[in-house]
Amino acid sequence: MSKENIVIIGSGPGGYVGAIRASQLGAEVTVIEKDAIGGTCLNHGCIPTKAILASAELFTSIKEAEDFGIYVGEVRADLGNIMERKSRVVEGLGNGIHGIFKKRGIGFIKGTATLISPTRIRVESPSGAEEINATKVVIATGSKPAMLPFLYPEQPAVLTSTEALTLDRLPKSVLIIGGGAIGLEFASFFNALGVKVTLVEMMDQILPREDKRISRQMTQILRKRGIKILVKTGVKDVLSYRDEGITCLLDNGDEIAGEKLLVSIGRSPNSKGIGLEHLGVKLDERGNILVDDRMETNIKGVYAVGDVTGGILLAHVASAEGIAAVENALGIDSKIDYSVIPSCVYTSPEIASVGLTADEARASGVEVKTGWFPFSASGKAMAMGQAVGSVQLVVEKGTEKIVGGQIIGPLATELIHEIALAIKLGITAKELSATIHAHPTLFESVMEAAHSVYGKAIHVF
C-alpha cells in the first residue's frame, strides 16, 4: 500500500506541527512556505515580541535593582541590540524546525502555492514553477494584520506589529490603536524604554474579552506607569502625515498626534490568491475558510487550520488544529475541545485566562461563585518583588467544578495551566484546595483561590 502524500501550505504553528505529526504517522509530507519557516508566530509575532519584552522587563528590573539591595551604574537600552538579539532567537528556532524536518524526511519548498485541484498544487519559486501531487492538502496560510481603510500603510509613520519589530530606533511617541493583547504588549515594551504611549480602544475597556476586574487592574497599572489610555474612543481619520509623525482625528472630535501610529485592531485571513475560488472552497464574508469539526473544508481531502479559518487566533490552537487535521486525513478520528483554551497576554504583570469568566457563565445560564486571592498575600510574590495582581476561580454551584480562571500577576501565563487541567478533568474547587502545594510558591495562590470559594483562604485578612 502506497503512503499518503500530504502537502501542507504554510509553515506556521498549524503547518509545521501538523507536518511533524503526519510524518510520525508514516505519511510522506511536503510543506510549502512563501516566507520564512515558522510563519507569523515565529518571525513576526509570538516569539519576537516575547524576546523584546524580555529585554524590556530585564531593563526595568535592573533599574529597580536598588529595591533588592543591588547597586548598578547608569543603565541604558539599545534598540538595535535588542532587535539583534530578537533576530538571533528567531533564527535559532527556525533552524530547529528545519532540523526536525530534515531528520524526519519532511520536504520543504520555499515558494508560493496555488491549488489547481484538490490533489494538485502549483508552486512558484525563485528556481521556477513546478506542480506537485497530493492525496490530501492542509491549508495553513495564517493571517496578516488588519488595517483601517482610511490609513495609508506605506506612510513611514504607520506601523503594524510586523514593522514595529523591525524598528532601528525608538520613536519619541507612539499612538496605539487597539487595546487587545498585541496593543498592550507593544505599549508595555515602548513604555518601559521611555517612549510616550497613548492607547486608544473603541470598546469600554482594554482587553475587551477579559474579565472586568482584570481589565480594571491592568488599566490602573498602565496609567500609573504613564501610559495614556482612552476607552470608548475610535480613530475617525488622519488629518496629516509628516516625515516624523502623524495627526489623527478621534470620533469625539479631539486631535491626537504622535511620531508613530501602531495599528493593532485584529487580523485578516490569508485566503486570497491560493486557488480557493477555483476549487469552490467555501468562505465566510470575511474570507475565512469554513471547516467542519474535523478541520475539513467542503472539498473532500482539503483541510484548513489556524488563523485562516477565523476561529481562535492563537498559535497553540493552530498547532492543535494542525494535529487534528492530519490525523483525520490519515484515518484517525480527531476533534478539538475548544472550551479549555488558555489565553495569555505577556505584559508586566502577565495576564492569563481559561474557560469562562463569571459574567460569561451567568450569561449562559450557569450559576457560579468565585474565589479570589491577591498576590500581595503571597510570600513568594512578595519575595520576588512582584506582589501585584490576583488569581480568580469561577466555580459552578452545585457540582463545585471549576469552569474558569483568570490571573493577573507574576508568571500568570505559566500558572494558568493548573486551572486549565482542572477544568479539563472536571476537578472541583474542593479537590484543588485539598491538594497540598509547596511553600513558598506562586502556585499556592491558585490553591488559596480555591480555598476562598468556601471562605477559607488562609492568608487573606
| pLDDT(1) > 70 | no
Residues annotated as catalytic are 439
| pLDDT(127) > 90 | no
| pLDDT(2) > 60 | no
What percent of the chain is predicted at pLDDT more than 90?
A: 96
Summarised one tens digit per residue, pLDDT across range 342-390 is: 999 999 999 999 999 999 999 999 999 999 999 999 999 999 999 999 9
Q: What is the pLDDT of residue 456?
A: 84
What predicted TM-score, i.e. pTM, was given to this entire model?
0.95
SS3 of the chain: CCCCEEEEECCCHHHHHHHHHHHHCCCEEEEEECCCCCHHHHHHCHHHHHHHHHHHHHHHHHHCHHHHCCCCCCCCCCHHHHHHHHHHHHHHHHHHHHHHHHHHCCEEEECEEEEEECCEEEEEECCEEEEEECCEEEECCCEEECCCCCCCCCCCCEECHHHHCCCCCCCCEEEEECCCHHHHHHHHHHHHCCCEEEEECCCCCCCCCCCHHHHHHHHHHHHHCCCEEECCCCEEEEEEEECCEEEEEECCCCEEEECEEEECCCEEECCCCCCHHHHCCCECCCCCECCCCCCECCCCCEEECHHHHCCCCCHHHHHHHHHHHHHHHCCCCCCCCCCCCCEEECCCCEEEEEECCHHHHHHCCCCEEEEEEEHHHCHHHHHHCCCCCEEEEEEECCCCEEEEEEEEECCHHHHHHHHHHHHHHCCEHHHHHCCCCCCCCCCHHHHHHHHHCCCCCCCCC
**Could you tell me the domains of the chain?**
5-145+268-329 (3.50.50.60), 158-265 (3.50.50.60), 343-452 (3.30.390.30)
Summarised one tens digit per residue, pLDDT across range 165-218 is: 999 999 999 999 999 999 999 999 999 999 999 999 999 999 999 999 999 999
